[in-house]
A and B are shown apart, each in its own frame.
Chain A
């Protein structure tokens, strides 16, 4: 347990000493800030419009602003996870520091969990940046906070999932760029797989739709906390970390 903590701290330190963390924070702030501005502007102009028409349609901030924004963050997540996870193991393999980790009295699992949690913490801090924007809404209206919380829980789970895959990919190469590319490919595929459900209802399409990370996020964005989606994400994380452990172990045999 203490070893996980030690490795977690080192990972975070390296993220925040290098430009990676600052770049990602700035990137999220700018991109999400833009989405937020657009979403609120549309909301306001619609409000004006309906007022001019004299029809006071009920307008819900949660449904009109927050839900699409949560979906947007979920997509931003696809882009940032490879950038966060690429260095997890590839960098250690390239620099030879993997030898230090694997010859220290630490279990492989502790190394993996420490690293994954470090990556997840950086990801969570990106979510934190996006939450600053949403917090502004509370000054001007009364959005329901519970669906937002559920949405962020979903984002965290989705991030954990993709980061676990990223960690696994990162164990397979010494080249961070390659790790990032493959992780991005996988993230993108897992995102778009769901689109087949728009025209096809056969079994294979249902499977593809099921393994799509996005399908399981939508309920969270609506504020629905469904145990089957939580279970999907948790299983996915376990699978990713399990594969990482196997791959790390095989490094010893293949060297």
Chain B
């Protein structure tokens, strides 16, 4: 459905996107992952025909973004990072305007507005002026705008940014429900957002493609060894960190223990296991045996920064091998 080959985009002297190639199959949800400034937005803008590429080609729904932009635009719904709203219009007026721009007319337009409102849960604010809506509602109106013409491809730039946790969950469910009929590309720099929604992940950094993989493979590659976060407290304020750390390191299967925080007799450690070994049960038993109070024991959530370190580390090592 989307085919990108050797895509590059240069702004003056900076290369925002550097020779990226990937393909997205029909009906897939693909997460576009990268830190700020990685080139996510630029790539999405090229796919939506907002910007022309400097080099390379991109095809969306079988049409070239440079040579057949009108055909591409008809088949793409786009939610930019800031929802493109006119604060003076009411929600219905806005959706009518966008629907007409996308080529919908009369009865069909009405039906599509009803459906988009229902799907994005904005039916209760249809008559409200857009400028008076909360951030969460604005985001949903933006999403409604993107799906108004029932496009084959949806491009969503940071659809959950700036939302509160409840709204994030709602938006995620909404996006999941949209999958199947639509091919979706969404960008984010928050890993959980991808975990819950996407089947395929494209990681880019500094304009370069780092990896394309399914989410399961990716997490496995990154998390070769189990890591847990452990918070303990001594029974009578006599526990010191070094002592506890030593004791934890002795547990079988543990490779490394890192003290993360110490406050008022409480310690938070990150305990890393050896590759392929499950250590949670062992750690739990050791804590009880030592007579410490156990405050929490949970798998360490890998955030994107770590994934990046992990993913880009490999490249750097092979790339700068002769330094060593």
Contact = CB atoms under 8 A, between A and B. Distances in A.
Interface of A: 2-3, 6-7, 9-10, 13-14, 17-18, 95-107, 252-255
Contact of B70 (A14, A97, A99, A105): A105
Interface stretch (B80-88, B119-127, B253-261, B295-303): B80-88
Interface string B59-77: 0000000000010011010
Contact of A97 (B50, B78, B86): B86
A104 B80 contact: no
A60 B141 CA distance: 60
Nearest to A5: B100
Contact of A255 (B51, B70, B80, B145): B51
Contacts of A2: 100
A252 B50 contact: yes
Given A96-B82, A99-B84, A6 B76 contact: no
Nearest to B9: A255
Contacts of B49: 102-103
Given A95-B85, A252-B51, A255-B51, A103 B78 contact: yes
A105 B50 contact: no
Nearest to B52: A252
Contact of B52 (A6, A7, A13, A253): A253
A233 to B, nearest CB: 30
Interface string B80-105: 11101111110001000110111100
Given A18-B88, A104-B73, A105-B73, A96 B80 contact: yes
A10 B88 CA distance: 10
Interface of B: 11, 45, 48-52, 70, 73-74, 76, 78, 80-82, 84-89, 93, 97-98, 100-103, 145
Given A6-B97, A99-B50, A255-B11, A105 B84 contact: no
Given A14-B89, A105-B70, A255-B11, A100 B84 contact: yes
A107 B80 CA distance: 20
A10 B86 CA distance: 10
A13 B88 CA distance: 9
B207 to A, nearest CB: 15
A157 B11 CA distance: 40
Given A104-B98, A252-B50, A99 B78 contact: yes
Contacts of A6: 97, 100-101
Given A99-B50, A99-B80, A104 B102 contact: yes
10 contacts: A6-B100, A13-B93, A14-B89, A96-B80, A99-B45, A99-B84, A100-B80, A106-B73, A106-B101, A255-B50
Given A252-B52, A254-B11, 5 more contacts: A14-B89, A96-B80, A96-B81, A100-B80, A105-B73
Contacts of B88: 13-14, 17-18
Contacts of B97: 6, 9-10
A152 B70 CA distance: 39
A62 B72 CA distance: 57
A95 B87 CA distance: 9
Contacts of A105: 70, 73-74, 101-103
A219 B76 CA distance: 52
B133 to A, nearest CB: 14
Contacts of A103: 48-50, 73, 76, 78
Nearest to B105: A2
In this complex, the member of A3, A100, A101 whose beta carbon has the largest number of chain B beta carbons within 10 angstroms is A100
A17 B49 CA distance: 31
A14 B78 contact: no
Contacts of B98: 100, 104
B142 to A, nearest CB: 9
